[in-house]
Amino acid sequence: MINSFSKYQAWRLLDHLFGGKEPADRFHRMRSKASASSIAESNGLPERKSVKAIPRVCGISDRDFHHQYVKPGLPVVLEGKAMEWKCVQEWSMPWLRENYGSDEVSIFDPLASASSEVQYDVEVTHLAAVLDAMESGDTSKYSRFNRLLYDHPELVHDFDWKWLHGLRSAWSSGKTYQVFIGGKGTRTSLHCAGEHNLFTQVEGKKHWFFIEPKADIWLDPPVTRTPYFYSMFDPERHDYERYPGMEHAQVWECLLEPGDVLFNPPFWWHQVTNMTPSIGVGFRWFDIMGNMKMNAVGTAMTLMATNPPIWTATKHRTDFAAIFKQMNSN
């Protein structure tokens, strides 16, 4: 017998394929029905569980890290893993201003908190303007997916790139570095994507909420045919009337400090807030076998994305602003 989650994912995939104009909703009623059935099946389970801490480990071997966390797709913080890396030792906001303040950056917030729809506005400015905003407390300028390591490729050597690259499998594609530079209070709302991510906290403190992929059925992500999935549920300000199933979901959290490396598995929902001025760098790759184990429907929707097509997203994987513009043009 097909369970409610499988039914929900099947209707979600059908909306992706045949659901009409984005956000596709031809089969939304069937998705909602499956979600309601899942909530009924959850009667008797604990409601409003306490938030749990993401495990923190120190000194774990690469073999154990892979078998205990990467292979099963479980988030973990490698405490102090990058403490001796040059990026953690030398990078700072004044260092960025002095050396790269004139760099052109694209500012965009896919999920502005005041809206329930993806925002496609892109502002082009300079890194110095982002740093100025941070000093003044202006949270409107958060440099997401910054191309610093592509505009200045020598900076890759400030990371243990051989270790990062070595964690990819034979099925992996892509070696994408993405820099995030933002002031206290800047954040990115709840979202997920089909990539493995090793995130190095270089400067400052960053708080993460996590929700397991099986919560897809309760988060009701709009079907927009992009490789970027989002939900308007806020783990910090719960709306259980709109998302009743989330009363049964387990929420996880962690706080990253300089030198910590977080493993963020594919399709885990996450919401991120900078608790102080922050520099963080994600290293991402796509592993089709690992993705299929984590979320087969999410993987299929990623590969069959049309807004933009997966080959366009792959072509521009080092420039997320370009992908964003492609989404806006469709």
The mean pLDDT values, 10 residues at a time, for the chain of 330 residues are 90 96 94 94 74 97 97 97 98 98 90 60 92 95 95 98 96 95 95 97 98 96 92 93 94 98 98 98 96 96 90 78 65
Q: Which fold has domain 52-329?
A: Jelly Rolls (2.60.120)
Contact indicator for 188, 272 with CB cutoff of 8 Å: yes
State residue 48's pLDDT score.
Answer: 75
Sheet bearing 261-264, strands edge to edge: 56-57, 76-78, 261-264, 196-203, 278-287, 172-182, 143-146
State residue 322's pLDDT score.
Answer: 72
Listed by start position, the domains of the chain span: 52-329
259 token code pair: 């030198």
From CA 187, how far away is CA 206, in angstroms rounded? 9
State residue 315's pLDDT score.
Answer: 77
Backbone angles phi, psi at 257, to 5 degrees: -125, 165
State residue 115's pLDDT score.
Answer: 53
Length of the chain: 330
Residues 6+ apart with CB under 8 A from 326: 307, 308, 312, 313, 316
Contact indicator for 24, 16 with CB cutoff of 8 Å: yes
State residue 323's pLDDT score.
Answer: 72
From CA 163, how far away is CA 283, in angstroms rounded? 11
Which residue has tokens 């760098």? 281
The model's pTM: 0.94
Q: Please report the sign of the dihedral spanned by the C-alpha atoms of residue 83, residue 71, residue 74, residue 319.
A: positive
10 token code pair: 């099947």
State residue 30's pLDDT score.
Answer: 97
CB atoms within 10 A of CB 44: 7
The strand pairing partners of 284, in sequence order, are: 176, 197
